[in-house]
């Protein structure tokens, strides 16, 4: 039934949404103006950890300020998991009793303008009794550390333990059949910085008895469920609208206390309210992510094959468990992600999710994988150096082979398809490993040192019911729906519950529909981002939309095609099996009738219809679930060449190659865009982005002059090569690829730097790699290198 027009699945179709975006005509939360709308500013905690002794509000301002005691009947945010031993946190909408991080909202202030609302906030005195802060996850793990949640008795949200036949590796070590290296690694805390920050506009619709919440979110339906739970309302009493969303990356998959507070306050005050997060709130209070610490030992056998991994991983989870993904999305997955693409027999991994006096850690593009890839791939390179072999050789020896696919790895991940060694081979060829080695032997005329590094990962995407049921977080994804409808003039409307925040779903889902129905793209309209207009969905996260919504759109279009064919056959007086859809028409042995004409007949001239028809008409909802819900595994090999100035630590990316396999690509141009954008963010993680905290728990990068993001000049030309191994489990063989670009750059670039510095004995084990850290690593290595020569 699929149409081959050159504009369906596989086409590099220009993005439909770009016409409005490129002309500055998108509609974001910040563009929404409602009559009588008031602005909100939040008074936020200046301390990381303190007891609230009093909040003094000048009486004249009292009716324009809300604090926790005002929020009668509002429940706190709870995001529990079903994992054994998980400790629950209770995140108040406005702080109660204590503040647990700098930036935690204490009071909501309402005024005609944001500036006046900030003036109000400045009039409020919060009497705080400072408490010692948990400013670091390792400090927080130690006995006797200050307690973020007193009733816990420690600071551990969760610990996990995985052991697969690990003891046996000790035998190999005893008989000298194994080589090992141990490394301590750390990734910085980061803040996600979508161009558009969070934002909420709320309104009370008395006619429908509904609170309408316009929010910059990836998951309107999940926000509605969360709001209903906190406000103790029926879900029907809340409508969530997500207009255009200017980047999400995971940050916009979170229910914010601010959303709950505004929704409640708009009903209570009876006026529309607006809060737009500013960059300072975004950086210090909102969007924390990524902070990991590892002690990792990798073992290889005498043949240079990976034999075992032994890991202790700690994640700084921040003060509260964020809704819906919980405080343990990162650490809880490390055990299953760490084995990477490799096949080895012995494994042990212990993880700690530590509560600290920092904002909650949130999922960021690549969730946990960026840190894990960094730890594993950097340690593998150290192991290869110890073995005296090329790091790529260790990988070729250890990767899961294509003939093993599908493959259940040592952590029970089910890899669906792919040829991992081939991806690495192509990356080795494209980056020109031999040429780089030759160039290194010659040395650089400018005195810099060059190095080459590789990193690989798999990106699980679209994983569904079985995975999340075991996890037990507030939602479990099940079936995905699409509502499809032919309008009376024959145009096609598609409604989905997922949301596009830069992925180009208006284009790619149109391609799916076009492939099945042949309707021209300018007659296909995607409606999404509104709980009142779309079927329920857990939303856009986990690189799932092309798999799940793509599948649902296909199901709905097939079902719709079936009805169009039924009708068309009757109108053409042909048998059902004699007709087909072709070039926007139903074609039978004796003639053709345009699909638009079929639609017009159905809606406008029912008197022309024969009797005994399916009364369901040209509008339906159909659902989809992948044949296996353990997810697709797209994967990639990244390769980087760097030049390092050993005097100043300056680093230049000379070349960057990505060999990516995302299964069948629905729109390769959009895939390239996803990879490029992700890689740019990965370069940020590798070289620039860091949110340091001092010992009092104060964030030290509160503006973009301190929190450094890569700009266009910092991102090199990235060369992308595609492989297309279909997933056996999805509708078109497609795989989720939205996040992968952001996973490997820190590992690949660090490996390249360590390759450049290997003769100096210097190694970088902390991201981001800053010029100062490079110079200091070289200085630390110097005495060792000199001692070795002496």
Partner 1 sequence: MKPAAFDYVRPATVAEALGALNGPPGAKVLAGGQTLGPMLNLRLAQPGLLVDITRIPELAAVSEDKDAVTIGATVTHAAIEDGRIPDPTGGFLSRVARGIAYRAVRTRGTIGGSLAHADPSADWLAGLTALGADALVAGPGGSRRVPVSAFVRGAMETQLAPGELLTGIRIPRFPLEARFGFHKICRKTGEFADAIAVVVAIPQQAYLAAVVGPTSGPPVLIEMRKVDWPSAAMTLEEAKGILTAADQLRNHAGDDGYARALHAAALKRAYDEAFAV
Which C-beta is closer to partner 1: that of 278 or that of 759?
278
Among 17, 119, 429, 566, binds partner 1 (CB under 8 A): 119
Regarding 647 and contact with partner 1 (CB under 8 A), the answer is yes
Q: At a CB cut-off of 8 Å and minimum separation 6, what does 767 contact? A: 186, 187, 188, 374, 685, 686, 746, 750
Task: Establish if 766 lies at the interface with partner 1 (CB under 8 A).
Answer: no
| β-strand pairing of 38-44 with 273-276 | parallel
Give the Cα separation of 747 and 185 in Å (integer): 11
Least Cβ distance, residue 377 to partner 1 (angstroms):
25
| Site size with partner 1, rule: CB under 8 A | 27
For residue 406, is the peptide bond before it cis, meaning its omega torsion is within 30 degrees of 0? yes
Question: Which of residues 395 and 449 has its CB atom nearest to partner 1 in the complex?
Answer: 449
Question: According to CB under 8 A, which one of 4, 14, 90, 115 is a site residue for partner 1?
Answer: 115
Among 10, 88, 96, 114, binds partner 1 (CB under 8 A): 114
What's the closest the beta carbon of residue 714 comes to partner 1, in angstroms? 5
Q: Are strands 524-527 and 492-496 parallel, antiparallel or unpaired?
A: parallel
- For position 481 contacting partner 1 by CB under 8 A, the verdict is no
Report the residue from 648, 692, 759, 783 that binds partner 1 according to the rule CB under 8 A.
648
Instruction: Find the shortest distance in angstroms from Cβ 704 to partner 1.
Output: 9
Pick between residue 313 and residue 769 the one whose CB is nearest to partner 1: 769
Binding to partner 1 (CB under 8 A): which residues in 683-722? Answer: 688, 703, 705, 708, 710-711, 713-714
Residue entry with tokens 């890991």: 311
Residue of 422, 455, 366, 459 whose CA lies nearest to 637: 455
Give the three-class secondary structure for 470. helix
Dist CA 452 CA 642 (whole Å): 7
Q: How far, CA to CA in Å, does 406 sit from each of 19, 630, 723?
A: 41, 12, 17
Smallest distance from the beta carbon of 195 to partner 1, in angstroms? 15
Please name which of 327, 374, 489, 416 lies closest in space to residue 728, comparing C-alpha atoms. Answer: 416
Closest CA to 89 of 263, 364, 352, 318: 318
Place of tokens 């073992």: 299
Q: Smaller CB distance to partner 1: residue 213 or 774?
A: 774
**H/E/C letters for each residue in 664-708?**
CCCCHHHHHHHHHHHHHHHHHHHHHCCCCECCCCCECCCCCCCCC
> Is 770 among the residues that bind partner 1 (CB under 8 A)?
yes
Contact at 8 Å (CB) between 352 and 101? no
CA-based radius of gyration for the chain: 28
If one counts every other C-beta atom within 10 angstroms of the C-beta of residue 465, the result is 14
In 17-63, at which residue ranges do the beta strands (DSSP E only) sit?
38-44, 50-56
Residue 754 CB, nearest approach to partner 1 (Å):
19
- Binding test (CB under 8 A) with partner 1, winner from 56, 113, 404, 466: 113
**Nearer CB in complex with partner 1: 530/689:** 689
Within 8 A by CB and 6+ apart from 658, the residues are 427, 636, 637, 638, 675, 679, 718, 719, 720, 721, 741, 744
CB of 648 to partner 1, least distance (A): 5
Q: Tokens 């030290």 identify what position?
A: 700
Please report whether residue 606 would count as binding partner 1 according to CB under 8 A: no
Residue among 121 and 341 whose Cβ is closer to partner 1:
121
| Nearest Cα residue to 736 out of 495, 480, 383 | 480
Closest approach of partner 1 to the CB of residue 58, in Å? 17
Residue of the chain from 2, 118, 558, 597 that contacts partner 1 (CB under 8 A): 118
Nearest to partner 1 of 374, 688 (CB atom) = 688
Cβ 718 to partner 1 shortest distance, Å: 17
Q: Using the rule CB under 8 A, which residue among 583, 779, 783, 784 binds partner 1?
A: 779
The three-class DSSP label of residue 717 is: coil
Q: Binding segment for partner 1 among 15-23, 110-118, 217-225, 322-330 (CB under 8 A)?
A: 110-118
Toward partner 1, which CB reaches closer, 573 or 648? 648
CA 671 to chain centre: 15
**771 is a site residue for partner 1 (CB under 8 A):** yes
- Number of C-beta neighbours around residue 181 at 10 A: 18
Please report how close the Cβ of residue 697 comes to partner 1 at its closest, in angstroms.
20
Site string for partner 1, 390-419 (x = CB under 8 A): ------------------------------
Interacting span for partner 1 (CB under 8 A) from 115-123, 335-343, 552-560, 630-638? 115-123
Least Å distance between CB 45 and partner 1?
A: 16
Task: Please state the closest distance from residue 488 (CB atom) to partner 1, in A.
Answer: 49
Query: How far apart are CB 40 and partner 1 at their closest, in Å?
Result: 12
**From candidates 177, 775, 781, 785, binder to partner 1 by CB under 8 A:** 775
- Classified as helix, coil or strand, 462 is coil
What are the residue ranges of helices labelled H in 432-544?
433-442, 465-471, 505-517
Closer of 2 and 123 to partner 1 (Cβ): 123
φ, ψ for residue 576 (rounded to 5)? Answer: -55, -40
- Judged by CB, which is closer to partner 1: 121, or 211? 121
Q: Which stretch binds partner 1 (CB under 8 A): 481-489, 508-516, 645-653, 659-667?
A: 645-653
> What is the C-alpha to C-alpha distance for residues 250 and 184, in angstroms, rounded to an integer?
28
Q: Could you tell me which stretch among 96-104, 576-584, 643-651, 744-752 binds partner 1 (CB under 8 A)?
A: 643-651
772 binds partner 1 (CB under 8 A): yes
Q: Which of 444, 558, 619, 645 binds partner 1 (CB under 8 A)?
A: 645
| Contact pattern from residue 253 through residue 292 relative to partner 1, giving x for each residue in contact according to CB under 8 A and a dash for the rest | -------------------------x-x------------
- Please report the DSSP string for 292-350 in residue order: EEEEEEEEEETTS-EEEEEEEEEEEEESS--TTT-TTTTHHHHHHHTTTTB--SEEEEE
- Asked if 601 and 609 count as a contact pair (C-beta separation under 8 A), the reply is yes
**Closest CB 509 distance from partner 1, rounded Å:** 36
Residue 787: exposure state from Cβ atoms within 10 A (0-12, 13-18, ≥19): exposed
From 364-372, 507-515, 549-557, 769-777, span contacting partner 1 (CB under 8 A): 769-777
Smallest separation, CB 360 to partner 1 (Å): 22
The footprint of partner 1 on residues 139-178 (CB under 8 A) is: none
Choose the stretch contacting partner 1; rule: CB under 8 A; options: 29-37, 384-392, 644-652, 732-740: 644-652
Tokens of 415: 């890899």
The least distance separating partner 1 from the CB of residue 777, rounded to whole angstroms, comes to 11
C-alpha–C-alpha distance, residues 611 and 206, integer Å: 43
Instruction: Enumerate binding residues for partner 1 (CB under 8 A).
Output: 113-115, 118-119, 122, 278, 280, 645, 647-650, 688, 703, 705, 708, 710-711, 713-714, 770-772, 775-776, 779
């Amino acid at each position: 039934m699929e149409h081959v027009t050159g504009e369906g699945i596989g086409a590099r179709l220009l993005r439909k949404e770009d016409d409005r975006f490129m002309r500055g005509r998108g509609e974001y939360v910040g563009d929404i103006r409602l009559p009588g709308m008031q602005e909100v500013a939040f008074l936020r905690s200046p301390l990381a950890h303190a007891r609230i002794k009093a909040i003094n509000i000048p009486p004249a301002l009292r009716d324009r300020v809300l604090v926790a005691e005002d929020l009668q009947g509002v429940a706190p945010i709870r995001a529990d998991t079903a994992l054994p031993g998980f400790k629950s946190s209770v995140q108040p909408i406005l702080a109660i009793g204590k503040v647990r991080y700098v930036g935690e909202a204490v009071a909501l202030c309402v005024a005609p303008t944001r500036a006046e609302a900030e003036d109000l906030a400045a009039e409020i005195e919060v009497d705080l009794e400072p408490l010692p802060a948990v400013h670091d996850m390792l400090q927080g793990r130690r006995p006797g550390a200050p307690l973020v949640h007193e009733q816990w008795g420690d600071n551990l949200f969760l610990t996990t333990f995985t052991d697969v036949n690990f003891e046996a590796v000790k035998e190999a070590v005893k008989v000298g059949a194994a080589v090992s290296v141990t490394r301590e690694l750390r990734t910085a805390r980061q803040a996600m910085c979508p161009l558009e920050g969070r934002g909420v506009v709320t309104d009370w619709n008395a006619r429908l008895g509904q609170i309408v919440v316009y929010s910059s979110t990836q998951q309107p339906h999940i926000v509605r469920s969360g709001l209903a739970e906190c406000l103790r309302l029926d879900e029907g009493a809340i409508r969530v609208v997500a207009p255009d969303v200017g980047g999400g990356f995971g940050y916009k998959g979170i229910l914010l206390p601010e959303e709950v507070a505004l929704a409640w306050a708009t009903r209570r005050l009876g006026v529309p309210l607006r809060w737009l997060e500013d960059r300072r709130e975004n950086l210090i209070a909102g969007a924390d992510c990524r902070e990991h610490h590892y002690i990792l030992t990798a073992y290889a056998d005498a043949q240079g094959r990976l034999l075992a991994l032994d890991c202790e991983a700690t994640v700084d989870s921040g003060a509260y468990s964020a809704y819906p993904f919980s405080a343990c999305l990162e650490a809880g997955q490390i055990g299953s992600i760490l084995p990477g693409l490799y096949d080895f027999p012995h494994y042990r991994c212990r993880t700690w999710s530590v509560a600290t006096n920092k904002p909650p850690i949130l999922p960021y593009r690549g969730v946990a994988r960026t840190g894990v890839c960094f730890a594993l791939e950097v340690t593998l390179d150290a192991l290869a150096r110890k073995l005296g072999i090329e790091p790529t050789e260790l990988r070729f020896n250890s990767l899961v082979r294509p003939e093993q696919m599908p493959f259940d790895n040592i952590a029970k991940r089910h890899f669906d398809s792919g040829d991992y060694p081939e991806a690495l081979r192509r990356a080795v060829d494209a980056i020109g490993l031999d040429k780089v080695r030759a160039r290194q032997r010659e040395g650089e005329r400018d005195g810099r040192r060059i190095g080459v590094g590789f990193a690989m990962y798999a990106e699980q995407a679209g994983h569904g019911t079985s995975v999340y049921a075991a996890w037990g977080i507030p939602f479990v994804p099940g079936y995905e729906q699409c509502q499809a409808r032919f309008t009376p003039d024959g145009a096609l409307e598609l409604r989905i519950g997922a949301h596009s925040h830069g992925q180009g779903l208006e284009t790619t889902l149109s391609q799916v529909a076009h492939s099945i129905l042949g309707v021209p793209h300018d007659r296909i309209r995607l409606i999404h981002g509104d709980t009142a207009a779309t079927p329920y969905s857990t939303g856009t996260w986990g690189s799932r939309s092309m798999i799940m919504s793509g599948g649902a759109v296909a199901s709905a279009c097939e079902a719709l095609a079936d009805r169009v064919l039924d009708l068309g056959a009757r109108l053409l007086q042909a048998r059902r099996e004699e007709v087909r859809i072709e070039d926007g028409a139903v074609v039978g042995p004796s003639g053709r009738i345009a699909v638009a004409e079929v639609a017009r007949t159905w809606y406008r001239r029912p008197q022309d219809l024969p009797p005994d028809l399916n009364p369901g008409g040209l509008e339906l909802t159909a659902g989809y679930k992948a044949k296996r819900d353990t997810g697709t595994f797209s994967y990639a090999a990244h390769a980087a060449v760097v030049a390092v100035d050993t005097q100043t630590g300056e680093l230049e990316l000379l070349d960057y190659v990505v060999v990516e396999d995302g299964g069948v690509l629905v729109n390769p141009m959009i895939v390239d865009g996803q990879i490029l954008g992700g890689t740019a963010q990965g370069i940020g993680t590798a070289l620039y982005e860091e949110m340091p905290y001092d010992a009092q728990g104060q964030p030290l990068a509160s503006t973009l002059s301190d929190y450094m993001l890569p700009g266009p000049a910092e991102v090199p030309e990235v060369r992308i090569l595609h492989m297309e191994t279909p997933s056996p489990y999805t509708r078109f063989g497609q795989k989720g690829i939205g996040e992968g670009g952001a996973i490997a750059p820190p590992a690949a670039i660090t490996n390249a730097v360590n390759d450049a510095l290997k003769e100096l004995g210097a190694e970088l084990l902390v991201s981001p790699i800053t010029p100062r850290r490079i110079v200091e690593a070289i200085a630390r290595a110097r005495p060792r290198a000199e001692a070795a020569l002496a």
